[in-house]
Amino acid sequence: MTYDITAIRSRFPALAAGTAHFDGPGGTQTPQPVIQAIADALSDPLSNRGQVAQGERNADTIVVGARRAMADLLGADPSGIVFGRSATQLTYEFSRTLAKTWQPGDEVVVTRLDHDANIRPW
């Protein structure tokens, strides 16, 4: 299988100017299919998740679909997929949950090469 980097780059409108973006977590570039999915979601009725109004059902469909897609990508059960405000917030909550199982002498190794969001929670 070949990896067609030109085809992949073409899916990211922000890369069209030829600028290299090295800001990682601070500025993820968005591919066109994601931009379109967001535009589609915002064009239809949308509200908090539920089953009463159309906006509720639309929101529920989006969340369930996203969980299924991530589960498929990761080889996981959709019920084990969670979403949060940011990777920083999720890492913090994960570290607090995991810490409840630690015993004296358990360690977590991080480096200054890691993003700060993967250092501070520990």
The tens digit of pLDDT for each residue in 61-109 reads: 999 999 999 999 999 999 999 998 888 899 999 999 999 999 999 999 9
* Rounded-to-integer distance, Cα 45 and Cα 47, Å: 7
DSSP state of 52: S
Sequence-ordered alpha helix ranges (H) in the chain: 5-9, 32-43, 54-74, 87-99
* pLDDT score of 21 more than 90: no
Place of tokens 């290299």: 20
Place of tokens 């535009």: 39
Contact assessment for residue 51 and residue 68, using Cβ atoms and an 8 Å cutoff:
no
Kindly report the pTM of this predicted structure: 0.68
* Rounded-to-integer distance, Cα 51 and Cα 56, Å: 6
Task: Give the pLDDT confidence score for residue 79 in this predicted structure.
Answer: 94
